[in-house]
A = this chain, B = another copy of it.
Amino acid sequence: MGIKEYGFTTLTPVDEALKTFLETLKPKPLAVEEVPSEHAFGRVLAEDVSAPVDAPGFDRSAMDGYAVRAEDTFNASPTSPALLRVVGRVETTLPPELKVGPGEAVEVSTGSPVPPGADAVVMLEYTRRVGDRLEVYRPVAAWENVDRAGMDYRRGSVVLRRGRVLRAQDVAALLMLGVASVRVYRKPRVAVLSTGDELVESFSELAPGRVVDVNRPMLKLLLSSLGCVPVDLGMSRDDVREVSRRISEGLEKADALLVSGGTSVGRRDVVPETLEILGADVVVHGVAMSPSRPTLLAVASGKPVIGMSGPPAAALMCFEVFAKPVLLRLMGVESHVRPYVRARLSRRAPSRLGVRSYVRVRLIPHPEGLTAEPVAARGSGLLSTVTEANGFIVVPENRDGLEAGEEVDVYLFEWGCRTFG
């Protein structure tokens, strides 16, 4: 055999790698800042928000009909209606003095306040009115058809919990309750560095042997849409001093670093050495996954540094598998889940025993459901393997590939969340 001049001696399983990394890093959400509620969409709550008032603030009719005293209707039936006297009408606001006494009724609309004295609303359908005389054909129970004050949100109760990413309806609740501003976590600043002598900034500079650095723009988009602020560290040659300078800059400017390229074990892979020189704690180097085997997980100045394999599809999968869970914790998101769609494999999805494979698939709709077609096997780091795919399936370490016809969970790429084609 030839000399094993380099190569990973051990590869860490994915789950162990992430667990060890998180245990070493102990990621915590960042500083807290206050934002007006109308600009809080997508931000992560840094506090439990309680209702400062009851909502609704008053007992509200849930139907068009008549506000009554429920007991006045208890024996009502089609053949023997309850007879009541209509003493007024409420549209949006309650006329002063108006109330419902025994044997009385007040006409209300959906959303109207229920006048004092009344404790139920009888639906229009079950009444007949002639002049101020009202026949009620069905009994109503106490508080039937009434949204009571505080029924939506009760004053003092927790409405939204810390760690919640605020959605459209959550912002609506803040506005409804008069919560003018909320405390949220500062967005993590995440520095992005590409390394590689072969890299050029744009297509116009391309020459034989040169490659456009697409990892930076790709990672910056992934970061923004996750809710982080990307910090561009540019490109670096495969040079310890230059990489070191850029990483140090990143550690000053940002809360986390993503470095792509140069993380393997070849002569030009200077990132591991650089991190050692900088005194970083390299927690994991080499993961039993495909693609992105040369993943490097380190902690420097208490900040996560994730070294990703250079090929774009490998960098993307490393982002999904390692960067996202770490960054969500820095964002303050307390728990999360990755949604999927179920599909049947159109053909065998190959993988190797002992390695967790992220097999990219294209979804094809059929009347009976979705088919997942593995993107044709080529270099697993090629960008086309992720542009031609709608998402990916995970082949566990103990499976030697998945078979045609197997049912699989397909995790969709961002935006692909909603669409395929």
**A residues touching B (Cβ–Cβ < 8 Å)?**
1-7, 38, 41-42, 55-58, 62, 64, 78, 90-94, 109-113, 124-128, 135, 137, 147, 151-153, 159-161, 163-173, 175-178, 196-198, 202-204, 206-212, 214-215, 217-219, 221-222, 225-226, 264, 266-268, 310, 312-313, 316, 328, 333-341, 363, 365, 370, 378-379, 382-384, 386-387, 412-421
Residues of B within 8 A of A215 (CB): 172
**Residue of B64, B126, B135, B340 touching A340 (CB-CB under 8 A):** B340
Copies in the complex: 2
- Known A93-B208, A163-B421, A415-B166; judge A337-B175 contact (CB<8 A): no
CA distance A178 to B386 in the complex (A): 18
CA distance A4 to B335 in the complex (A): 50
Among residues of B, the one whose C-beta sits closest to the C-beta of A4 is B125
Residues of B within 8 A of A338 (CB): 418
Identify the interface centre among A163, A341, A421: most chain B CB within 10 Å of its CB. Answer: A421
CA distance A152 to B152 in the complex (A): 55
Residues of B within 8 A of A266 (CB): 64, 109-110, 124
Among residues of B, the one whose C-beta sits closest to the C-beta of A173 is B387
- Known A2-B135, A62-B379, A163-B421; judge A175-B341 contact (CB<8 A): no
CA distance A363 to B335 in the complex (A): 11
Residues of B within 8 A of A166 (CB): 415
What's the nearest-Cβ distance from chain B to residue A168, in Å? 4
CA distance A4 to B124 in the complex (A): 8
Contact yes or no, A151 B339, CB < 8 A:
no
What's the nearest-Cβ distance from chain B to residue A180, in Å? 8
Residues of B within 8 A of A336 (CB): 418-420
What's the nearest-Cβ distance from chain B to residue A30, in Å? 17
Contact yes or no, A421 B333, CB < 8 A:
yes
Contact yes or no, A198 B42, CB < 8 A:
no
Residues of B within 8 A of A226 (CB): 418
Closest 9 CB pairs of A and B: A178-B203, A339-B339, A172-B214, A168-B221, A93-B209, A172-B218, A92-B198, A336-B419, A64-B266
What's the nearest-Cβ distance from chain B to residue A381, in Å? 9
**Residue of B112, B128, B175, B207 touching A2 (CB-CB under 8 A):** B128
Contact yes or no, B340 A175, CB < 8 A:
no
Among residues of B, the one whose C-beta sits closest to the C-beta of A52 is B203
CA distance A165 to B387 in the complex (A): 11
Residues of B within 8 A of A214 (CB): 172-173, 175-176
- Known A57-B206, A225-B168, A334-B421; judge A175-B217 contact (CB<8 A): yes
- Known A56-B211, A172-B217, A206-B178; judge A1-B93 contact (CB<8 A): no
Residues of B within 8 A of A3 (CB): 125, 127-128
Contact yes or no, A7 B125, CB < 8 A:
yes
CA distance A204 to B417 in the complex (A): 38
- Known A209-B94, A217-B175; judge A414-B167 contact (CB<8 A): yes
CA distance A40 to B183 in the complex (A): 32
CA distance A180 to B382 in the complex (A): 21
Among residues of B, the one whose C-beta sits closest to the C-beta of A334 is B421
